[in-house]
Structure formats: structure tokens, C-alpha cells
């Protein structure tokens, strides 16, 4: 039987009318505040190691590796593989991402396993005869899929930096796929809400929707096809995915659904080791993602702008106005300049220079809030659906990992017989430069489609180092899913800790806002902001739009004085912080 499930004892009847995700987490937050707020908002504390991810079983898989003598990389790889089983919305084998590693001895490395355009991809492949974008062409189906990088990236990290070995870190994921796990309320709701996408493809409909007999909370979700794939990877290594039996299954699915990824594309794919971007903010060192992510560049650009300013109180008109203006300028620059630096020239030095930030800061302080904003000239200063998890081990080594299928459940296509979903990462290219993608992000010529190019990403895995010592210890490990909102979520949580002096649980829980230049509007969460502050923003000329939730953040904070680790899973998610 494929994708079979056995009935457990659900906590309550769930009919067709499931509560919206935003209402659920906001209700939970309200109950927490009205009840034992002190206990609820305390972060999870641990003396040795901490793992925070979007799903409880995956967090526990990471701690299992730490208890077995593994380091932060072993734990991070195990979490990534487990999420491929328990968090199909974004956890994946068929997607890609970035892993940022910092060693307590002082050095860092960035593992780029971003997906890659197939060799047959063309600049105008998603345009019709009139040169207009074909709706859905870059989002749904096998033609939306780029060459997956997750297996190669996790394997490279484990084989280069782990202690326990590839076969060992696969064990929790194999166990979860073969034996199954109880479906949470959030997963049951998510699968039901995705039926419009998953129901279009027979294999996806069978495994994830049980042919219309939707999973209820408490039922056990077993995935024998995915278990077999993981066992192939354990027995034969990552080459099974790129050249062996799993590759053959991918090719059969590509042929059936007219995808462009070829056997040669799979065989040629390589994860890459890069140097992280390095910035500074009020004495702290910021390590973040280089191109082909735009995340680190935009984050450091915004921090440079804001560093010397008095931000006042969190979520006040003064602080929000300054942060919104920094966001507008960083996202305008993102659209104009960012892409895969292996293919195009990206002015990283200029965009992240303090001199450029000073120019933008002066512009912000002199301009009216309703004045239009465009890309700057960083070259003057010259001399890239998602889930995130954070890991710290007993030695102080840290991993921030963000990976993705792009849209929730990716392209909707499950590789037949293999049990995993394919990404729709081609939508992260500029199908037509100047035209928004599914997240509303406008992107330029630097991110046009080209064979074997990696699409621009917003993923922003980030590690903050302390402000003292020759080899300052890790202070924060964080990141976020959320498409175009990722960078701003990381910015806000980071500032909540470093500038507004919140603990990590408060920082992750605080309400969020977002501006990405185009559309030029400020998106605010429906709860937590003062009505007076929102009215002042409107009076200043900002166009506001409410949203039930913005992103999520799974983060770890380390107390510099005691070394205690504090983990916080975002209440907007179904995640869990687990320490030991």
C-alpha cells in the first residue's frame, strides 16, 4: 500500500471548516497571555545543546544526534532529513537551500545547495507569444521544477563536517517514514487546504490526501515510498539520488509531466562551499547568506542604515518609520542588482558598505515618508515555501539552515514511487524582468532565467557573534521562511534582541510588519500594534494592509555570561524547541 495511514484517537472532530492558521496561533497567544504568561513566554533552556525547528519530531531527531555524540552539523542534517518526512509543506528532498555553519574555534562556512535551472531552460520559457507571463507556468507542474540540491547539500555538509556519518543521520527520518508519526492539527489542516494543488497529480493525491479521505489529527501517517528512497540514500549515498535508482524515478516523472530536468542535469549538480557575508551592528558580528541569496546583502544593508539611529521603543511610530524606509531601499536594490554571482556581477561590496548606508540614511532623514523610492547607486562604493531551523551543540558550534520547495508543497508533483515532492523554484527567477513573482517580488535582469543558473533567493540563515573576545561566541542563531518577508522577519527578530533587549521568546513572538518596495505598502499583523501608531503611519502617507501572520522564526540565543542556550519556536508555527 502506498502512503497508508492508520487511525489513532483524534483529539476532536475536524470537519471541513477548519480554523485559519492565523486565528489558531493568535488564539493560542491570547490564551497564553491571559493564563500563565510568565511560564508560557519563557524560552526553552538547556545547558548543552539546543535544536529549534518547525516540527517537533524533527527537533527531537536533532537532539538524538547530539546525545549520540554528534555535533551541530550532524544534528542539522538529521533535522533536514526528518523534516522531509514530517513537514511536507516545506521540508524536502526535492528542493534546495543554504546552511550557515560557525565553529566555536572562530571560522565559518556557507553551504550553497540552492536549486539550479536545467540546461534546457530558456530566458522566455514562461512567456506566451505576446511576451506575457503564462499564469501558473512557473509554479505548478514538473516544468516549474529546478534541479534539486537538498540531498547533495546535506550530504556535503555531513561528509565534510559531521562526526556520525551519512547513514546514521538518516536513521530518524527512515524510522519516521517507515513507522509513521501522528498527524498534528496543523498538518491535517495544511494538507486539506492544499488539495487544489496536490489533487491535480495522482501520486500526490494518493499519498498526501489519501485519495480524498483526508488525514485527521491523531492519525498515523506512514510513507513507505519515501522510506524506500531514504534507505536507498543510506545504502548507496547521495549518488543514488543523482545517478542511481532515485534519479531514474525522477526522470520517469519528468517525462510523464513534460519537465525539463534531465539525467545529465542531475548528474552534474554540485553543492558549493562559499564564504558567508560578514557585517557588523553595534559591536556584534553578523554572519549571513551571500548570493545567490539576497538575504544577507539586504539584511546587512538595512542594519548599516539603522545602526547609529535612535530607534526608540519597539513598534513605535519612530522605530517603524525608520525600519520601513530602510526596507524600501534595500528591496529596491534587491530588485535592481541581485542575482547568481556565478553568472552576473553583483555589487555586494557597495550594497553592504557603510558609506552607501550613510547616503541612504541621510536620504531617509531628509525625505517625506510618502516620497517614491528607487534603487540606489551602490557601485560607487565598490573597491545574491521555506522552513528554517537553528542548532547549537555543547561545544558552541552553530548551524542556521533554511531550505525550501518555494511554494507550499512545491510544484505539487510527487516523484512516482519515491514519495517526495518536487520544487517550483523556477518561479524565483524573473520570468519577465520587472514582473512580480508569486510573492509579489519584482526582480531585474540580473535574475533572468539562464541554463544552470541558480535563482535569486530571500533565504537569510544568520548567526550573530558576541561583542567581546578574540573569538566571540555565538549570541544568536536565526532564520525564517516566508518568501519575500524572510529578510524583514530576520531583521525584526535580530533588532528585538540586540536593539530592544528582548529575550528570544519575546523577540520571536512580537508582532511583525513588512515592506518590500513594490507593492509600496506596509503589511502589518492584525494583532499587537497600537491603533494610534497605525493611524500615525497612515497620516504620514503609508498605505497599510493587515495580514493574519508574517513568516515565522525558529531561533536560539546563548547567554554570554553563563553559556546557557535558550530556544524559541515561533507560536505562528507548529514548531518546537528541544534542548538537553
Q: Which residues are catalytic?
A: 386
- DSSP β-bridge partners for residue 566: 45, 557
Q: Using CA atoms, how far apart are residues 553 and 186, in angstroms rounded to an integer?
A: 17
Beta-strand pair 522-525/544-547: parallel
DSSP class per residue in 234-302: HHH-THHHHTSHHHHHHHHHHHHTT----HHHHHH---EEEPPEEEEETTEEEEEPPTTBSHHHHHHHH
> Contact, 427 vs 138, CB < 8 A?
yes
Comparing CA positions, the residue from 52, 63, 68, 73 lying closest to residue 397 is: 73
Cell of 351: 550594497
Beta-strand pair 272-274/277-281: unpaired
Q: Using CA atoms, how far apart are residues 432 and 434, in angstroms rounded to an integer?
A: 6
Q: What are the distances in angstroms from CA 72 to CA 55, 66, 336?
A: 18, 7, 36
Q: How many CB atoms lie within 10 A of CB 37?
A: 10
Burial class (CB in 10 A: 0-12, 13-18, 19+), 515: buried
525 Cβ neighbours under 8 A, 6+ residues apart:
511, 512, 513, 546, 547, 548, 549, 550
30-33 long-range Cβ contacts below 8 angstroms, 24+ apart = 32/571
> Contact, 187 vs 223, CB < 8 A?
no
Comparing CA positions, the residue from 94, 105, 115, 45 lying closest to residue 72 is: 105
> Contact, 398 vs 556, CB < 8 A?
yes
Comparing CA positions, the residue from 163, 462, 512, 192 lying closest to residue 324 is: 512
Comparing CA positions, the residue from 43, 40, 95 lying closest to residue 554 is: 43
Cell of 197: 494543488
Residue carrying the nine cell digits 529549534: 52
Q: Using CA atoms, how far apart are residues 420 and 376, in angstroms rounded to an integer?
A: 42
Amino acid at each position: 500500500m502506498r502512503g497508508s495511514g492508520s487511525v489513532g484517537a483524534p483529539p476532536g472532530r475536524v470537519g471541513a471548516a477548519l480554523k485559519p492558521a492565523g486565528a489558531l496561533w493568535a488564539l493560542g497567544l491570547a490564551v497564553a497571555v491571559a493564563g500563565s504568561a510568565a511560564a508560557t513566554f519563557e524560552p526553552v533552556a538547556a545547558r548543552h545543546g539546543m535544536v529549534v525547528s518547525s516540527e517537533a519530531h524533527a527537533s527531537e531527531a536533532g537532539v538524538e544526534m547530539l546525545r549520540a555524540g554528534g555535533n551541530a552539523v550532524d544534528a542539522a542534517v538529521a533535522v533536514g532529513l526528518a523534516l522531509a518526512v514530517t513537514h511536507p509543506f516545506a521540508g524536502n528532498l526535492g528542493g534546495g537551500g543554504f546552511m550557515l555553519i560557525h565553529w566555536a574555534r572562530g571560522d565559518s562556512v556557507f553551504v550553497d545547495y540552492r536549486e539550479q535551472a536545467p540546461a534546457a531552460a530558456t530566458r522566455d520559457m514562461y512567456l506566451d507569444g505576446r511576451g506575457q507571463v503564462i499564469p501558473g507556468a512557473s509554479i505548478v507542474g514538473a516544468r516549474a521544477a529546478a534541479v534539486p540540491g537538498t540531498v547533495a547539500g546535506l550530504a556535503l555538509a555531513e561528509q565534510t563536517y559531521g562526526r556520525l556519518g551519512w547513514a546514521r543521520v538518516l536513521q530518524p527520518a527512515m524510522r519516521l517514514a517507515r513507522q509513521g508519526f501522528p498527524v498534528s492539527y496543523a498538518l491535517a489542516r495544511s494538507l486539506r487546504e492544499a488539495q487544489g494543488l496536490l489533487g491535480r497529480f495522482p501520486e500526490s493525491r494518493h499519498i498526501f490526501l489519501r485519495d480524498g479521505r483526508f488525514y485527521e489529527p491523531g492519525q498515523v501517517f506512514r510513507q513507505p515510498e519515501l522510506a524506500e528512497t531514504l534507505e536507498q540514500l543510506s545504502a548507496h549515498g547521495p549518488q543514488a539520488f543523482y545517478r542511481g535508482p532515485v534519479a531514474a524515478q525522477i526522470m520517469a516523472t519528468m517525462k510523464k509531466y513534460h519537465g525539463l530536468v534531465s539525467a545529465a542535469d542531475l548528474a552534474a549538480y554540485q553543492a558549493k562551499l562559499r564564504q558567508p557575508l560578514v557585517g557588523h551592528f553595534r559591536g556584534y558580528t553578523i554572519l549571513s547568506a551571500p548570493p545567490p541569496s539576497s538575504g544577507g546583502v539586504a539584511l546587512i544593508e538595512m542594519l548599516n542604515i539603522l545602526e547609529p539611529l535612535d530607534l526608540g521603543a519597539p513598534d513605535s511610530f519612530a522605530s517603524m518609520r525608520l525600519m520601513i524606509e530602510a526596507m524600501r531601499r534595500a528591496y529596491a536594490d534587491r530588485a535592481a542588482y541581485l542575482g547568481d554571482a556565478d553568472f552576473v556581477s553583483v555589487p555586494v561590496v557597495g550594497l553592504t558598505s557603510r558609506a552607501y548606508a550613510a547616503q541612504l540614511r541621510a536620504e531617509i532623514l531628509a525625505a517625506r515618508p510618502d516620497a517614491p523610492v528607487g534603487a540606489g547607486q551602490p557601485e560607487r562604493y565598490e573597491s545574491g515555501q521555506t522552513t528554517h531551523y537553528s542548532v547549537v551543540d555543547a561545544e558552541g558550534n552553530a548551524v542556521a539552515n533554511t531550505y525550501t520547495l518555494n511554494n507550499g508543497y512545491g510544484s505539487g508533483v510527487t516523484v512516482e514511487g519515491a514519495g517526495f515532492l518536487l520544487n517550483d523554484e523556477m518561479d524565483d527567477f524573473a520570468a519577465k524582468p520587472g514582473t512580480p513573482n508569486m510573492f509579489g517580488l519584482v526582480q531585474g535582469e540580473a535574475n533572468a532565467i539562464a541554463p544552470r543558473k541558480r535563482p535569486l533567493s530571500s533565504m537569510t540563515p544568520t548567526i550573530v557573534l558576541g561583542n567581546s573576545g578574540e573569538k566571540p561566541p555565538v549570541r544568536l542563531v536565526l532564520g525564517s521562511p516566508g518568501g519575500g518577508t524572510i529578510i524583514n522577519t530576520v531583521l525584526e527578530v535580530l533588532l528585538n534582541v540586540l536593539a530592544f533587549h528582548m529575550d528570544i521568546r519575546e523577540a520571536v513572538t512580537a508582532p511583525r510588519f513588512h515592506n518590500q518596495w513594490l507593492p509600496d505598502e506596509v503589511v502589518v499583523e492584525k494583532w499587537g500594534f497600537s491603533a494610534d501608531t497605525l493611524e500615525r503611519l497612515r497620516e504620514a502617507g503609508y498605505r497599510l494592509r493587515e495580514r493574519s501572520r508574517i513568516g515565522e522564526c525558529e531561533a536560539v540565543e546563548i547567554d554570554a555570561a553563563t553559556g546557557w542556550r535558550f530556544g524559541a519556536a515561533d507560536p505562528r508555527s507548529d514548531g518546537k524547541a528541544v534542548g538537553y
